[in-house]
Amino acid sequence: MSLWRCAPSLPVGTSGCDGSIPLVTDLVASPNGIESLTLGDGLVEARSYDLGGRITSLDVAGLYGYDYLYVPADGSRFREIHDRYSAFGDVAFTFDSLDRLVEMSRIATPGEKTTYAYDLDGNRTRKTTPVEEVE
């Protein structure tokens, strides 16, 4: 399977658009999701899944890659995302009892975290980053 886009000078839907620029080619899918694909620039993206169909790893041509850990083991939310090529890309997530994201932090720099607050209706009311507080 392939996905295409028009040349920049021909917007999608324009008469004469021949779809000459590939966005994605060689797409391979399984019951769990997309296993691999080739991006328009030729880079190959590969994905792995666990038995529950959750993505466990993603790698793009050895340039960047991530491993995903879930908590609880049968849950669908991420606990951590590990960057295979840079420890500074590792991120940990904390959720409250209502499964709302309340904290996100870089594992390599635990003091640098982003926190979230919610009202009684579950609407996010505040986001605080290491640099600023955003209401």
Which three-class secondary structure state does DSSP give residue 14?
coil
Q: What is the pLDDT of residues 118-134, one digit of tens each?
A: 999 999 999 998 876 56
Is residue 41 a contact partner of residue 52, using CB atoms and an 8 Å limit? no
In sign, the C-alpha dihedral spanning 34, 102, 93, 62 is positive
Name the band, by pLDDT with cuts 50, 70 and 90, for residue 97: confident
Q: What pLDDT does residue 16 have?
A: 46
Highest mean pLDDT pick, 38-47, 68-77, 92-101: 38-47
* Euclidean distance between CA atoms 134 and 22, whole angstroms: 40
Q: Is the pLDDT of residue 14 over 50?
A: no
pLDDT for res 117:
95
Nearest CA-CA partner of 89 in 102, 107, 73: 107
Task: Report DSSP state, residue 30.
Answer: E
Quick one: tokens of 93? 């997530």
3-state secondary structure of 119: coil
